[in-house]
Chain A
Amino acid sequence: MTTPIAAPPAPPSGALPTIDRASARAFAEEFITPVADVYDRAGAVPEEIQERIGERGLWAPFLPTRHGGRDLDMVTLGAVHEEMGRACSSVRSLLTVHTMLAWALMRWGSAEQIERWAPDVATGRVRGAFCLSEPGAGSDAAGIGTNVRPHKGGWLLNGRKKWITGGSRADLYLVFARNESSIVALLVPRTAPGVGVTPIDDMLGTRASLIAEIDFTDVELGPDALLGPSSFASGMVLSGTLDLGRYSVACGSVGIIQACLEACAHYTTHRTVGGSRLRDLALIRAKLSDMVTDVRAARLLCERAGELKDAEDPATLMATWVAKYFASTAAARHSSEAVQVHGANGMSTDYPVARLYRDAKVMEIIEGSNEIQRITIADEAFREVAQ
């Protein structure tokens, strides 16, 4: 079952193209879906498509218009990321990390930092990446070893980040580093002397998302590299940035389930076994009915989290954890079933479900793994319920 999407009306001449679910789907159908498997095999989203994303204003449309954005609300942003996830999780991953940097800049940046970076971040002329994980620290963010210390009126950064989505291509890194007792956020241009980029190839999933390891060796930064507070509140920069990333991944996971559903509906209509169409077999129908139910439930959870973000309601943080946990686990389950429904064909590169299956697994690990999500959600349960 495909979500009915009305064809977007042509924009008036000279007007900026509309950004909504329908236009995002039309864009993805034209430029991304037909070649997503090609990107996956090549291991890279080509530069040309990244530029097209910029032309459509999709890199950071939630930024204010005065800084080059489109003031897009979070619910619609979620729908756009869902549509990108339906087409290609690697593209959606690039949008996710760029979104994280753009949001952190807008939320925590000084007027000078916003003026310097926001216009280029809004258009995607400057691409962002989010650098938290390290060879020795992922879930345990407090365990990072990358460090920054005051130096010649600015900062000196040393350390190594790993698994950085978009890292091979990004121009600006949002780097989290240890400074005395707190973890602070820094804006680090790729061109700064001492920054080294090593692409990581052949990942299981989101293979085209330009993942890299980034080394920082005696990187000298100005005082304006620090983003947000350096006090106890610096953890909030990380929490808030991860919240947006989690929201994007949750929405992208909804897109994966939707793509599985559509692939299965199509395949089972055309494939026959023992004289019956697959779609007429009860066990197959059960799988599709579960996909329909979960994609709708996951979409509603994402929309709720987006509405709470638009209302600036603090309840959005937990709503986003719940949405991401539900959507990512459902995506992993249903993409596995989608491969099952396709039989041997599902294991081949002739059908998109193998890619969806590999990409869905990633969603259970990034922006807070399943285990960390369950821990956080359970903590909330105990906090909420009086004992």
Chain B
Amino acid sequence: MSVTTENPAVPAVPPTEIADRIHGFVRARFPQVEIAPNQDIFAMGFINSLFAMELVMFIEKTFGRSVPNDELRIDNFRTVEAMAGLVGRLRLAVSDS
């Protein structure tokens, strides 16, 4: 199973800003609609594999953590809040190891 790795070149984002950054990315991709942090973006029908890939790349680049295969679960990406939770867990996983 793949593990989380850290890119030390990426400056740490303060925990309070994690959800804002993700929300900003999602909103910028869909400027024509209002998306709340707890809203299911899959249920809105926006997700295709291209956007899913963009989301993962954005998270990895912005927060300097690779997302291991076993965290690539739909529930981790349904809402901005779920994604922020995932990032929080990945940060802990690296600091624990």
User: Footprint of B on A, CB under 8 Å?
Assistant: 108-111, 228-229, 231-233, 235-236, 238-240, 243, 311-314, 316-317, 376, 383-387
Contacts and interface: CB of A to CB of B under 8 A. Distances in A.
A240 B70 CA distance: 18
Contacts of A387: 32
Given A238-B49, A239-B49, A317 B54 contact: yes
A228 B2 CA distance: 9
A291 to B, nearest CB: 32
Interface of B: 1-3, 29-32, 49-50, 52-58, 60-61, 69-70, 72-74, 77
Contacts of B72: 229, 231-233, 236
B52 A239 contact: yes
B56 A232 contact: no
Given A312-B57, A314-B61, A317-B54, A386 B31 contact: yes
Given A313-B57, A313-B61, A239 B50 contact: yes
A239 B56 CA distance: 12
Contact of B1 (A110, A232, A386): A110
Given A110-B2, A231-B73, A383 B30 contact: yes
Contacts of A109: 2
B39 to A, nearest CB: 17
A110 B60 CA distance: 17
Contact of A239 (B2, B53, B60, B70): B53
A376 B50 contact: yes
A108 B69 contact: yes
Nearest to A382: B32
A312 B61 contact: yes
A59 to B, nearest CB: 23
A314 B50 CA distance: 10
A109 B1 CA distance: 8
Contacts of A312: 57, 60-61
